[in-house]
Chains A and B, each alone.
Chain A
Amino acid sequence: MTQPIPIALTVNGTPRQALAEPRTTLVDLLREHLGLTGTHVGCEHGVCGACSVLLDGEPVRACCLFAAQVDGMAVTTVEGLAPERGALSALQDAFLECHAMQCGYCTPGMLIAFTDLVARNERPSEAEIREAIGGNLCRCTGYQQIVDAVLHATGQAAHG
């Protein structure tokens, strides 16, 4: 039951392989086996959203999936959001510009949720922005500067 099994997946565009126990969650696979610690663990019961990643382009809770379930699929983590090393995505840049974080712990999950949102909706309303992170909890910011950042990134508000 606990014998490791091989798992092959694509992470941030790179094929990766790992041997992991069947009970290993996707977030533990990313963090402990693949060394991608940008994805965080908050509640391990699917509420806080800190562990969000894109799975074949769709946001999922990596704490609520077994690694074995994503065999053969493509995962994007926060480490894969920038267009190239040293650069930032428009959302990442707007998060910096608008002070959209404090401790940074929920930030990767927020960026994943919004990466999905803006891929579907180029100019989301404030209500749509808040709805998109209805399942991403932040204890630092009260969400205000996060909302500002997404409006900024989508060209709807000038900050400052």
Chain B
Amino acid sequence: MAENGFRYIGKRRRAVEHRRFVTGQGRYAADIQLPGMLHLAIVASPHASARILSVDASAARALPGVRAVLTGEEMQPALDPMLPGVDAPAVTRFPLARGVARYAGEWVVAVVAESRAIAEDAAELIQVEYEPMPAIVDPEQAIAPDAALVHPAHGSNVIFRREFVWGQVAEDFAAAPNRLSYRVRWGRSATVPIETFVVACAWNDATGLLDVWASIQMPKFPDLLARCLRLPGNAVRVHFDVDVGGSYGVKRGLKHAILAGYCARMLGRPVRFLEDRLENMRGGDMQGPDRVFDVSLAFDEDGLIRAMRMRALDDVGAYAGRAPFQLGKPVGAIVGPYTINSVSYEAISVLTNKTPQEAVRGFGQSPTNYAIESGIDKVARFLGRDRIELRRRNLIPRDRFPYLIPSGTRYDSGDYAAVLDKTLTAGPYADLVHRREALRAEGRLAGIGLSTCLEPSGGNSSFEPLFNPKNKTTTWMDSCLVRVDLNGAVTAVMGTSSSGQAHETLVSTVVGEVLQREPDSIRVIHADSLNALPSNSPVGSRMAIMLGGAAAGAAKRIRASMMRIAAHELGVAEAELGWSDGDAYLLAAPERRVGWARMVEIAHREFHRLPPGMEPGLQQKFVWEVPTGGDLPTPDGRIQMYPCHSFECHLVLASVDPETGKVTLHRYVVGHDCGVMISPDAVHGMTYGGVAHGLGAALMERFAYSPEGQLLSGSFMDYLLPSAQEVPPIAIVDHCTPSPLTEFGQKGSGEAGYLGGPAAIASAINDAFAPAGISVDALPMTPALLWRALRGPAAPRAATADAPRHSEEVSAA
């Protein structure tokens, strides 16, 4: 046993998955080769809003090698629509547009051919006649009463709107000596994995079974796919043993799979759809939150923030699946790490003629964290106080956990001040101040950024009933099955695919810990959906908690079964036995043991030596409910959102070149507390990656649209991803406050780095601009935006008191 009390948990270990990745032996969806496979290509709408008057595919159909040309009207009678998660049944979505195209890039016609090249040739021969209509591009115009409607049948461009009031907000505002209002904007970006979405489908007439290999990370994907194809659930088999080339939320691809599945069944041959990059960027329906926040804070002279009003307007694009829920998850951390007493929160999801929004790392929490953190810095500036001191004044103290926030979530544990202190020490903060002043002396605009942010984890789905009263979801389970075979080898089965989170490493470490067997000897497999266990996929920073918990539960049941066999064998009670290296022994006389191999032999072969009533064989499953799940929201919208709450503090030294607006990050430190780390390298890796992703969202990445609704950044030449030359070296400082709710004290960490990064980088730039009296309140802070802000005819000043909805926004590039 090691110092942390664990044998394998928390120890460095080479990831199981990586051996196949470094040798080119991973198996991604695009690597699936099926005999006789056909290929799909898409004709996409060039207009953001248009009626589809006619489709002439005669030349395409005549091209040798073309097997089918399909329109939305032809497919629709055989399909059920994809529906939004919120209660908006008229906002239906099908893979191909029917009569109307609602965004530039929406799929209009599909071609199936013997090769992708032939399919693309044919697509170019298809003549579609459109009647362009005015496009709604600006979300604030979209909610105007006279706005044209993206979905006339829905009757409004607002797909979800609710105002929550938690606590005595009006009274707290009236009683506070100071109030500050501000507006910040989060620009539309996404996780943009290097692998685009890929799906291959094969239909078998004899078995009536659709086999699906897809690069997915989506809760309920097999069930939704079956329903949309009007097939029984057991007629769709999704193979989860496909390596997914990155996702971080966006790999949903339901419409892709419906289209490929439909074509495979219609044609009786396997069909693959592999997005090219432009299809992915404009028609892959994977763009992220796009928000305008209007926030007011009420606080006293010491900077203690008593109340907050927040209005979040989110542009979800032309259709919606789970996207509106991304305004729901932040309800579970709506006060951040602060003791804010009362909150009102108006969440508005609005439809526009843009590419639909999908889940992005953090599920809407990072934009909200940015909005909150911007306010903390503004209050500090308003009062002339130090930002660190102001945070200390407002952070929830360690002795108040579990801590109930106004919106009904109880934070499980934390020590925010300790993480802040560790981060400042690692800076070291005084050194950063010296370096900032030195940079300023050189003529650069230099600033220090700070953020202290929550990472809710354990992916429950309580926002579903919160945002849709018809939805009664109170469980978001995950599962694991462990078996020991006749030869004594251990196999664990998980019920979902992975997209880089090293779940095979996680599960084998946990099972190895419980059984005290070498983790590298434990095989972990991804079942297919017909063999699988209930799972909700790796979303919401949940798998260390949920899959880790399920794997531990199943392994403990295996251990209990084996102990029962051993107790029977020795003629003692199970309580008299201990467990060591996979053997059972008598506590009072440790030399009396029943070894692993012997217990396995009895379980598999010697029914006559099994305890009476015990099943032969060694196989156990465990389905774990989210530790705090089970409750519906109260009528005023209070709910326990996620169970566990990780915390991160970012400290950044940045400078801006006043001639170009280019930002350089000179020092980047993250203090991070996600409880007990099961796989430290994996946790650190995801945190580094989250920081880099946050850097992109803060400074570089933007799905920009023209006023007509054309996507202007559909390639990597104009949608800029951070490279190794933009991402600085990152220092991580660990802290551990175990969660009382989980098996080993672990919390989630899959969204770490991203949840506080953009806020900290924005904080650094505004610190750099503060001496000039300029504040920039829109992300991404591209060089062009910063350059213009520095030269604006009337550079906006800092927020003023009692100026509701005061806009400090500098128009984004």
A141 touches B689 (CB 8 A): yes
**Residues of chain B in range 712-755 having any CB-CB distance to chain A below 8 Å:** 715-717, 721, 723-725, 727, 729-730, 753
Q: Does A68 contact B (CB under 8 A)?
A: no
Flag whether B56 is at the interface (Cβ < 8 A).
no
Contact B194 A48 (CB under 8 A): yes
Query: Is A139's CB under 8 angstroms from B192's CB?
Result: yes
Evaluate contact between A139 and B693: CB separation under 8 angstroms.
yes
* A residues less than 8 Å from B721 (CB atoms): 48, 137, 139
CA distance A104 to B686 in the complex (A): 13
Tell me, rounded to whole Å, the shortest Cβ–Cβ distance linking B247 to chain A. 8
Pick from B20, B193, B723: contact of A133, CB below 8 A: B723
B194 touching A40, Cβ below 8 Å: yes
User: Chain B interface residue count: which class?
Assistant: 35 or more
Instruction: Please determine whether B724 and A97 come into contact, CB atoms closer than 8 angstroms.
Output: no
- Which listed segment binds A: B11-19, B293-301, B374-382? B11-19
Query: Looking at the complex, which one of B17, B23, B500, B685 makes contact with A38 (CB distance below 8 Å)?
Result: B23
Q: Are A140 and B18 in contact (CB under 8 A)?
A: no
Chain B residues, CB < 8 A from A67: none
State whether the Cβ of A15 lies closer than 8 Å to any Cβ in chain B. Answer: no
From A44, A92, A95, A145, contact of B688 by CB (8 A): A145
By beta carbon, the residue of chain B nearest A138 is B194
Task: Check if B729 sits within 8 Å of A95, measured CB to CB.
Answer: no
Whether a CB of chain A sits under 8 angstroms from the CB of B248 is: yes
Q: Is A123 an interface residue (CB 8 A)?
A: no
List residues of chain A with CB within 8 A of the CB of B245: 40, 103-105
A-contacting 9-mer, from B24-32, B302-310, B415-423, B449-457 = B24-32
Partner of B30, one of A41, A47, A104: A41
**Is A37 an interface residue when CB atoms closer than 8 A count as contact?**
yes
Residue A73 at the chain B interface, CB threshold 8 Å: no
Q: Which residues of B contact A102 (CB under 8 A)?
A: 246, 500-502, 682, 685-686, 689
The interface centre, meaning the residue of A44, A47, A130, A139 with most chain B CB atoms within 10 A of its CB, is A139
A96 with B22, Cβ < 8 A, contacts A43-B715, A105-B246 known: yes
B26 contacts across to A, CB distance below 8 A:
38, 104-105
**Interface membership of A52, Cβ < 8 A:** no
Per a CB cutoff under 8 Å, which of A44, A134, A160 touches B12? A160
Are A99 and B18 in contact, with the CB atoms below 8 A? Answer: yes
Instruction: Indicate whether A95 sits within 8 Å of B194 (C-beta atoms), given known contacts A103-B245, A135-B723, A137-B723.
Output: no
- Contact present for A140 and B246 (CB under 8 Å): yes
Cβ of A47: which chain B residues have Cβ within 8 Å of it? 715-717
Q: A11-31 interface mask toward B, CB cutoff 8 Å, 1 = contact, 0 = none?
A: 000000000010100000001
Q: What count of chain A residues pass the 8 Å CB interface test?
A: 59
A residues near B685, Cβ cutoff 8 Å: 99, 102, 140-141, 144-145
- The distance in angstroms between the C-alpha atoms of A95 and B22, with both chains bound, is 7
A147 touches B724 (CB 8 A): yes
A151 and B24 CA atoms in complex are apart in Å by 22
Asked if A36 CB lies within 8 Å of chain B CBs, one says: yes
Q: Which of these, A31, A42, A133, A146, contacts B195 with CB under 8 Å?
A: A42
Cβ–Cβ < 8 Å partners of B18 in chain A:
95-96, 99, 101, 104
Are the CB atoms of A134 and B725 closer together than 8 Å? yes
Residue of B nearest to A2 (CB): B117
User: Chain A 73-93 against B: per-residue CB contact (8 Å), 1 yes, 0 no?
Assistant: 000011101100000100010
Cα distance A104–B22 in the bound complex, in angstroms: 7
Closest to B23 in A: A82
Q: Quick one: given A45-B717, A99-B15, A101-B22, are A143 and B117 in contact (CB under 8 Å)?
A: no
B688 proximity list for chain A (CB < 8 A):
141-145
Given contacts A36-B24, A79-B24, A96-B15, contact A134 B723 (CB under 8 A): yes
Q: Given contacts A40-B28, A78-B24, is CB(A103)–CB(B724) below 8 Å? A: no
In the complex, whether B71 has a CB less than 8 A from a CB of chain A is: no
Q: Does A106 contact B (CB under 8 A)?
A: yes
- For the complex, is A131 an interface residue (Cβ under 8 Å from B)? yes
Please name all residues of chain A whose beta carbon is closer than 8 Å to the beta carbon of B730 when the two chains form the complex.
Answer: 142, 144
- B691 contacts the other chain (CB 8 A): yes
CB of B277 within 8 A of CB of A105, answer: no
Contact: A103 with B195, CB < 8 Å? yes
Q: Which residues of B contact A146 (CB under 8 A)?
A: 724
| A50 located at the interface, meaning its Cβ lies under 8 Å from any Cβ of chain B in the complex | yes
B365 adjacent to chain A (CB < 8 Å): no
Question: In the complex, how many residue pairs between chain A and chain B have their CB atoms under 8 Å apart?
Answer: 180
Q: Note all chain B residues with C-beta closer than 8 A to A98.
A: 681
Tell me the chain B residues, 94-141 only, with Cβ under 8 Å from chain A. 117
Q: How far is the CA of A116 from the CA of B591 in the complex (A)?
A: 58
Answer yes or no: B244 CB below 8 A from chain A CBs: yes
**Given the interface contacts A96-B18, A103-B243, A140-B500, does A133 sit within 8 Å of B28 by beta carbon?**
no
In the complex the two chains form, is B499's CB within 8 Å of A103's CB?
Answer: yes
B22's partner among A88, A137, A143 (CB-CB below 8 A) is A88
B717 / chain A contacts, CB cutoff of 8 Å: 45, 47
Is the beta-carbon distance between B31 and A37 smaller than 8 angstroms?
yes
**For A95, what are the chain B residues with a Cβ–Cβ distance below 8 Å?**
18, 22
Are B692 and A143 in touch, CB under 8 angstroms?
A: yes
Question: What string of 1s and 0s marks CB contacts (under 8 Å) between B614-625 and chain A?
Answer: 000000000000
B1-46 residues at the A interface, CB under 8 angstroms: 12, 14-15, 17-28, 30-31, 33
Given A37-B30, A104-B17, CB of A45 within 8 Å of CB of B501: no
Q: How far is the CA of A14 from the CA of B27 in the complex (A)?
A: 23
User: Which chain B residue shows the least CB distance to A36?
Assistant: B24
- B191 interfacial contact with A, CB 8 Å: yes
Query: B684 within 8 Å of A by Cβ?
Result: yes
Interface: A108 (CB within 8 A): yes
Cα–Cα, bound, A31→B29 (Å): 13
Q: Which residue of chain A has the shortest Cβ distance to B281 in the bound complex?
A: A43
Given known A-B contacts A39-B24, A139-B693, A130 and B725 have beta carbons under 8 A apart? yes
Residue of A nearest to B194 (CB): A42
In the complex, what distance in Å separates the CA atom of A38 from the CA atom of B14?
21
Q: Do B117 and A92 have beta carbons less than 8 Å apart?
A: no
Nearest chain B CB to A143's CB is how many angstroms away? 4
Interface residue? B163 (CB, 8 A):
no
Using CB atoms, name the residue of chain B closest to A129: B724
A88 to chain B, nearest CB (A): 7
Nearest CB of chain B from residue A126's CB, rounded to whole Å = 8
Q: Which of A42, A44, A45 has the most CB of B within 10 A?
A: A42
CA distance A137 to B727 in the complex (A): 11
**Is A111 part of the binding interface, using a Cβ–Cβ cutoff of 8 Å?**
yes
Query: Shortest distance in angstroms between B791's beta carbon and chain A's nearest beta carbon?
Result: 30
CB-CB under 8 A from B15, the residues of chain A are 96, 99
Chain B nearest CB: distance from A129 CB in Å? 8
Residue of A nearest to B499 (CB): A103
Answer yes or no: B520 CB below 8 A from chain A CBs: no
Partner of B21, one of A21, A104, A143, A145: A104
What is the distance, in angstroms, from A153's C-beta to the closest C-beta of chain B? 12
- Docked Cα-Cα span, A139 to B690, in Å, equals 9
CB distance from B686 to the nearest CB of A (A): 7
Interface flag for B581 (CB, 8 Å): no
- Taken together as a complex, chains A and B put the C-alpha atoms of A145 and B691 apart, in Å, by 13
Partner of A111, one of B22, B33, B691, B727: B22
Q: Which residues of B contact A133 (CB under 8 A)?
A: 723-724
- A126 CB contacts on chain B under 8 angstroms: 729
CB distance from A131 to the nearest CB of B (A): 7
| Inter-chain pairs besides A43-B715, A140-B686, 20 sampled, C-beta below 8 Å | A21-B117, A23-B117, A37-B28, A40-B30, A42-B277, A45-B717, A99-B684, A103-B244, A103-B247, A104-B20, A104-B245, A105-B28, A130-B724, A133-B723, A134-B723, A134-B725, A136-B723, A142-B691, A145-B688, A146-B724
Report the 8 A-B pairs with minimum CB-CB distance, sorted nearest first.
A38-B24, A104-B21, A103-B500, A105-B245, A142-B688, A102-B500, A142-B692, A99-B681
A-B contact pairs, 27 of them (CB 8 A): A35-B33, A38-B23, A38-B24, A38-B25, A38-B26, A40-B30, A40-B194, A40-B195, A42-B277, A45-B717, A79-B24, A96-B22, A101-B500, A102-B685, A105-B246, A107-B22, A108-B24, A130-B725, A134-B723, A137-B194, A138-B194, A139-B192, A142-B753, A143-B692, A143-B727, A145-B685, A147-B729
